Structure 1
Amino acid sequence: MDEVLKFLQDNPVFYLATVDGNAPKVRPFGFVMAYQNKLCFCTSNQKDVYKQMKANPSIEISTASPKGEWLRLSGKAVFVTSRDSKKAALDAMPSLRKMYSEDDTIYEIFAIEQGEATFYSFGGAPRSVKF
């Protein structure tokens, strides 16, 4: 998980795909943290992405580095929202405080479970890790 976290932090615009009915939906994300040994992200429960993950928790994330490497990460979105998890996210990225607080009711934290990350590059064979 640490290698995946570092790759996402080093390439901070990544794309999260969900399923809406039978169609994929993709949008940029930019926050990730380790929390209680889980790879965690945040969103608002007012957004379609939240509703899509609640209806179908299968998600995939992808990003690329300037060096021609990229990551594909798939798993199940599991919500781990608590005051403590929200505070950890806000402490990790203080700019989120412009939108959220520990005590609001719209701020959600989710983790990836049954995660599988595959690292790719133009020059080598893909390499996968599960967590």
Structure 2
Amino acid sequence: MKEVLDFLKENKVFYLATTSGDQPHVRAMGFVMEYNGKLAFCTSNQKDMYQQLTLNPNVEICCVAANYNTLRLCGKAVFCTSAETQRKALEVMPALGKMYAVGDGKFEIFCLDDAQAVCQTMSGEKKTLAV
């Protein structure tokens, strides 16, 4: 998991895909943390992404490094929102405090279950990473 977490943090922006019906939606993300041995992310329950995740929790994330190595990560979003997860998220990325607060009724945290990650180089070499 450390290698996946480091890749996402080092490259700062990654893209998370959800679906609404049969329409895919991709958005840029920048927050990730480890929580109870899983990758965790955040959103607002007032965003379309939250609604999409509640209807279909299957997601895929893609991140590209400066050397063009690509990380593809898929899994199932499981909400784990609590005061503890919200506090930890705000510690990891204090800038989130401009949008969210612990117990504000909109700040949601989700972890990835059944996560699988593959890193691929520009030459096509693939490596499965532990998540």
Band the TM-score falls in, shorter-chain normalisation: over 0.9
Using the size of structure 2 for normalisation, the TM-score is 0.97
What SS class does the counterpart of residue 26 from structure 2 fall into? strand
- 1:116 aligns to 2:127 (yes or no): no
For 1:6-85, what aligned pairs fall within 5 Å after superposition? 6-85=6-85
The CA deviation at 1:124 is: 4.8
Secondary structure of the residue that 1:123 maps to in structure 2? coil
Structure 1 runs, 4 residues or longer, greater than 3 Å off: none
Question: Which letter maps to 1:40?
Answer: A
Matched, 1:93 2:97: no
Aligned 8 A contact 1:114 1:130 in 2: no
Q: Provide the aligned length of Structure 1 versus Structure 2.
A: 131
Residue 123 (structure 1) shift: 2.9
* Match in the other structure for 1:103: 103
Partner-residue secondary structure (3-state), 2:125: strand
Determine what percentage of the aligned residue pairs are the same residue: 47
Unaligned runs of 5+ in 2: none
Q: Secondary structure at the match of 2:5?
A: helix
Read off the aligned partner of 1:79 and give its amino acid letter: F
The one-letter code of the counterpart of 1:47 is K
SS in 2 for 1:89: helix
Task: Give the secondary structure class of the aligned counterpart of 2:31.
Answer: coil
Task: Indicate the structure whose relative CO is greater, using CA pairs within 8 Å and at least 6 residues apart.
Answer: 2
State the Cα deviation string for residues 47-102 of structure 1 (Å, max 9, x = none): 00000000000000001011120100000000000000000000110011011111
Judge conservation of contact 2:3–2:129 (CA < 8 Å) in 1. Answer: no
- In the alignment, structure 1 segments of 5+ residues that lack a partner are none
Q: Distance in 2 between matches of 1:108 and 1:75?
A: 17
SS of aligned partner of 1:67: coil
Give me the CA root mean square deviation: 0.9
Q: Distance in 2 between the 1:81 and 1:65 partners?
A: 30
